């Protein structure tokens, strides 16, 4: 019973997502022309001003290390925590040497 | 592993290391960067462990050194972010009015603190992944 309801909920969520992903009602894929200026103006700014403002010709590195560096700090923290947790959990247990 | 695998690994591990270092060092010019290059160099560590075995890896792996280097990578990243703290956190002061790393865009010594951050993140990712890999490889308790 519970499992049936769970599967029905998953089916409902999938239907909603498919509806949203339809270009006639929701998201647009591969916008160009005026849509590019209206929907992707942030990307347009990065591509236009990235090289002169940050100096790197790799715009992705310009964004993740300069414009949105806090995100990279968080990412590095997540990696650090994951490594620390993995190393801490896989250490030998007490009295496990023999 | 067998003799052929060991000999091939001896030839390939330096190439992987050099290629990963290239990805890290040119992170601000070409696709790639700290995370991708660090993972590539960690792949050389995986190959070393798989080809030569855990006992050989234990001789060349120092837990304290790798932990310290991972922390040092994170601190270098934060330090590079703090360079322009007079204006704002993450202000790229080396690029706007710095003494070094302010060459023309497209050259290796350009882009302010981006190469420093790439090196720091690459060091951090490499040491972290190798530490986790060795920790999991030493987890040898198949029963119970």
Tell me if residue B141 falls in helix, strand or coil. Answer: coil
H-state helical runs in chain B? 3-25, 34-52, 54-60, 63-82, 93-97, 114-137
How far is it, in rounded angstroms, from Cα B34 to Cα B15?
A: 18
Residue B144 within a domain: no
Residue B129 within a domain: yes
Q: Which residues contact B57 (CB under 8 A, 6 or more apart)?
A: B48, B49, B134, B137
Residue B51 within a domain: yes
Contact B112, A50 (CB under 8 A): no
Q: What is the per-residue pLDDT for A11?
A: 96
Residue B45 within a domain: yes
Residue B143 within a domain: no
Q: What is the pLDDT of residues A31-87, one digit of tens each?
A: 878 888 888 888 889 888 888 888 888 888 888 888 888 898 999 899 999 999 988
- The beta-carbon neighbor of A83 closest among B70, B102, B121 is B70
Which of A58, A73, A86 would best serve as a mutation to test chain B binding (most B beta carbons within 10 A)? Answer: A58
Residue A95 has pLDDT above 70, yes or no: no
Q: What is the per-residue pLDDT for B18?
A: 93
How far is it, in rounded angstroms, from Cα A56 to Cα A1?
A: 57
Ordered by start, the domain boundaries in chain A are 1-29, 31-90
How far is it, in rounded angstroms, from Cα A70 to Cα B117?
A: 13
CA A67 to chain centre: 16
Establish if B102 touches chain A: CB-CB under 8 angstroms.
yes
**Structural domain tally of chain B?**
1
- The boundaries of the domain holding residue B35 are 3-138
Kindly determine whether residue A61 and residue B27, on different chains, have CB atoms separated by under 8 Å.
yes
Please report the number of interchain residue pairs, chain A to chain B, with beta-carbon separation below 8 angstroms.
95
Residue of chain A whose alpha carbon sits nearest to that of B102: A55
Establish if B125 touches chain A: CB-CB under 8 angstroms.
yes
Q: What is the pLDDT of residues B25-68, one digit of tens each?
A: 888 888 888 899 999 999 999 999 999 888 888 888 888 898 89
Residue B10 within a domain: yes
* ipTM of the modeled complex: 0.82
Residue B23 within a domain: yes
């Amino acid at each position: 019973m519970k499992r049936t309801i769970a599967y029905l909920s998953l089916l409902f969520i999938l239907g909603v997502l498919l509806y949203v992903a339809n270009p006639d009602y929701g998201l647009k894929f591969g916008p160009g022309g005026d849509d590019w200026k209206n929907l992707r103006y942030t990307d347009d700014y990065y591509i236009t001003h990235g090289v002169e403002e940050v100096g790197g010709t790799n715009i992705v590195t310009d964004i993740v290390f300069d414009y949105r560096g806090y995100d990279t700090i968080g990412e590095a923290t997540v990696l650090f925590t994951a490594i620390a947790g993995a190393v801490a959990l896989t250490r030998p247990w007490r009295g496990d040497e023999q | 592993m067998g003799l052929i695998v060991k000999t091939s690994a001896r030839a390939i591990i330096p190439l992987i290391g050099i290629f990963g270092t290239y990805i890290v060092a040119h992170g601000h010019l070409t696709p790639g960067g700290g995370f991708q290059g660090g993972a590539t160099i960690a792949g050389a560590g995986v190959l070393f462990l798989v080809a030569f075995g855990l006992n050989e890896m234990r001789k060349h792996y120092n837990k304290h050194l790798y932990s310290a280097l991972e922390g040092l990578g994170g601190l270098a990243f934060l330090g590079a972010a703090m360079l322009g703290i007079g204006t704002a956190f993450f202000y790229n002061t080396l690029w706007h009015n710095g003494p070094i790393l302010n060459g023309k865009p497209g050259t290796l010594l350009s882009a302010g603190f981006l190469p420093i951050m790439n090196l720091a993140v690459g060091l951090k990712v490499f040491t972290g992944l190798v530490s986790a890999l060795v920790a999991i490889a030493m987890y040898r308790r198949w029963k119970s």
